[in-house]
Amino acid sequence: MIKLLIVDDSALMRRLLVSLFSAEKEFEIRVARNGKEAVAENRDFQPDVVTLDINMPEMDGLTALSLLMTERPVPVVMVSSLTQEGALATFEALNLGAVDYVCKPNGTISLSVEAVRDELLTKVRAAAKAKLRAPGLQSKAIGLAQQLRTDRALLLARGRERPPVRRKSRIARDGIVIIGVSTGGPSTLEEILPQLPTDYPWPVLVVQHMPGSFTGPFAERMNKLCQLEVVEANTPMLVQPGRVYVAKGGADMVVTSRAGQLTVLPKPEHPAHLWHPSVELLARSVLEHCEPEQVIAVMLTGMGNDGADGFTELKKLGARTIAESEESAIVFGMPAELIRRGGAGLVLHVDKIATQLLVWSEN
């Protein structure tokens, strides 16, 4: 049995969620009306997983989450709105230690719950088995990046290193990095990408499974944290060094060649693929338009097998590939599938991935 704590200030929402999970016969359920009750129930009930609303009276979801993670860490799935404000609050929750989130679609409560029924069940089951990562770990990555800048400044002052030159006007021809990630992705990316320096020579294309209203705020957040420029690929864009391109949610991202120049562009979601934006479609387009020897493909935490076939094909043709290790992956689904297919050249803890990207881009 999975011990589930449902936290929501709406009595109707609580009833609907209890009904949904009770029908599955695998959940022992308690409810809380606000964050204060959630903290008390976490001590008393000791749930295996919590669904947590963000906007609640007396104690909001983010405050409650910070207390949950301090007193008795537990996997938490946030239930948030499909708005920019909801997206920003959700990213803060992931930073505080939440495992995943489910977006409430617009409409009546009963229809909204039914619309996300399968997603709720899948994510709560996965969260119950997920590894917890210490909250705020991206501060470690940011600290490392800041130390790197300080060290390089000292070397420059001593005349031992040339200042980095941003090459935004140059089209990427030397190589490209593609990253596929799902559940647990935002906090994982916040550990890796801030460590890449301003003169990192290859562009980075990121496919994070995420709804359309979330990817813009996510790219903006990452742009503030990273030394590289981070943009949402919401229109056709030339692929340039020194840039991170985040696939737009509600679409699929592919690369193509226009007038001999590598370009990234969003396309309507392809119905043949289960997850979107699709890691598999990006990998297949890279296979078509890039030399595999100049591709680095990284598979991070997430449910399912999106991209495993495409990444494996890339490796067979000469690409260098990384799967995040089971030790650090919040959900070891996507990396495990890549490893099972023989598509992982290296299996690395999340702490080692940025360093490996630096090493490979220089060789």
| Structure-block tokens of residue 161 | 């290193």
Instruction: Write out the residue range of the structural domain in which residue 89 sits.
Output: 2-129
Question: How does the average pLDDT of the chain come out, rounded?
Answer: 89
Q: List active site positions.
A: 182, 209, 306
Q: Which residue has the tokens 């990284």?
A: 298
Q: Give residue 292's pLDDT band: very low, low, confident or very high (50, 70, 90).
A: very high
Q: What is the pLDDT of residues 167-183, one digit of tens each?
A: 333 344 579 999 999 99
pLDDT, mean of residues 273-283? 96
| Phi then psi dihedrals of residue 51, to 5 deg | -100, 130
Last-in-domain residue among 129, 151, 185: 129
Q: Give the residue-averaged pLDDT of 31-48.
A: 98
The confidence score (pLDDT) of residue 114 equals 84
**Which CATH number covers residue 254?**
3.40.50.180
User: What's the pLDDT at 138?
Assistant: 47
Predicted pLDDT of residue 134: 64
> How far is residue 200 from each of residues 60, 84, 171, measured CA to CA in Å?
40, 30, 14
Higher pLDDT, 105 or 56: 56
Across the beta sheet with 320-324, the strand order is 229-233, 243-247, 204-208, 176-181, 295-299, 320-324, 346-348
Both 198 and 316 in a single domain?
yes
The Cα 363–Cα 356 span in angstroms is 11
Q: Which residues, other chains included, contact 127 with Cβ-Cβ below 8 Å and sequence gap of 6+?
A: 49, 75, 76, 77, 99, 100
Residue of 14, 7, 89, 1 whose CA lies nearest to 41: 7
121 and 168 together in one domain? no
Residues 177 and 326 grouped into a single domain: yes
Q: Identify whether residues 201 and 77 lie together within a single domain.
A: no
Higher pLDDT, 143 or 191: 191
**Which of these ranges, 68-72, 83-87, 92-96, 119-123, has the smallest mean pLDDT?**
83-87
Domain count along the chain: 2
DSSP assignment string, 206-258 = EEE---HHHHHHHHHHHHHH-SSEEEEE-S-EE--TTEEEEEPTTEEEEEEEE
Return the closest-CA partner of residue 94 out of 66, 114, 118, 71.
66
Per-residue model confidence as pLDDT tens digits over 197-242: 999 999 999 999 999 989 999 999 999 999 999 999 999 999 999 8
Residue 149, in any domain of the structure: no
Percent of the chain at pLDDT > 70 equals: 87
Whether residue 79 lies inside any domain: the answer is yes
CATH number at residue 88: 3.40.50.2300
Residues 113 and 207 in one domain: no
350: in domain: yes
**pLDDT value of residue 165:** 39
More confident residue, 118 or 80: 118
Separation of alpha carbons 183 and 16, rounded Å: 24
Segment 265-283 shows an average pLDDT of: 95
pTM above 0.75, yes or no: yes
Phi first, then psi: give them for residue 106, nearest 5 degrees.
-70, 155
Dig out the tokens for 262 from the structure. 């590598």
Structure-token match 């864009």, residue found: 237
**Rounded CA gap, 249 and 101, in Å?**
15
| φ, ψ dihedrals at 307, nearest 5° | 90, -10
Asked if 316 and 205 sit in the same domain, the reply is yes
For CA atoms 321, 210, 234, 270, the dihedral sign is: positive
* Interval 37-61 mean pLDDT: 96
Q: Does residue 157 register a pLDDT over 70?
A: no
Average pLDDT estimate for 148-161: 47
Q: Are residues 120 and 174 in the same domain?
A: no
Instruction: Decide if pLDDT at 112 tops 80.
Output: no
pLDDT of residue 152: 44
- Whether 151 is in a domain gets the answer no
Mean pLDDT, residues 182-197: 95
What is the percentage of the chain residues whose pLDDT exceeds 90? Answer: 77
Angle, nearest 10°, between helix axes 308-316 and 279-289?
A: 20
